[in-house]
Structure 1
């Protein structure tokens, strides 16, 4: 059996890989840890060997110019079945609140949702995308951050024909004050545009004013 890796570097590397939503390069990891890139390369290779030798349910792969954790191929059927059956599971309170933020402020970046809710929402957002309730809306023209919006499945599940049928926020979102303030700020910005440059188009009115967070 493989010996457990020295955790001085491998532990923080592993922590970053667990949080990553896309492959991370050795140089990027080295910069985050403030250590030489060769040491990070050695740690990545050591972790990959350790996962293989100890029969973990996941593996560390080098893909393109980065590294990422993946579930092993032999568990593909199990994962697919679990994901499919999970479509029938109820959403958690955290997922419902995250979905509400996206629904009312879309298109919106993951980091902006985190800022509004005050917690990291990466895992919740992935769950909502997996269930087909959210979808990517393309990168922000200002920051390049990926934006998200609700999907046609969301409208179907809610019984809506359009987002105009969304109900008021407060009764459904316990911490609605921040979101309401955000919407109020957008409305004020739109009115300023109206005063200065005439009535905005429907698309302009629906688009959040101000710089999108990365």
Structure 2
């Protein structure tokens, strides 16, 4: 290139990062951003952290967070009521209560089979699991050696939607569910078998945004 600087490399780094992050549909890794902007990963990492600190210091309504291995803009937590009011605006939310409960079981028990999830919830949740699979919140994670049943786990998209860096940031269940050990003991004794094509019995109209 005879020492010439490309148009991308000539751009000021922080504004360039802001412009790219405004259009991403999933968290962008430091390595990918460095490649696109023709900078070193170290330069990009430092600029991202400085931007995040600047937004916090300025008390902006959004923040820049490292989630699921990448960076993305998110609305700040204290402004959630305003965002919720705008997004829902009298409309039904996207996930039913049954789907949220099922997702929680997968998150805390993963990798877990459909029948185990159904046993913990006490109802057939095969239809709900299909919904979570279609939405990209859970995925297949191999099979159970003893039964050959397909196992499921949460995805990076789940971490992104929940604003978590990893599963270790999930809150402890014990303070909220003292009987968790008893429930686990009961489910280990026997897992009922369900027809994968059977309709769910508790998919109601109660919906919640994830």
TM-score for the superposition, normalised by structure 2 = 0.42
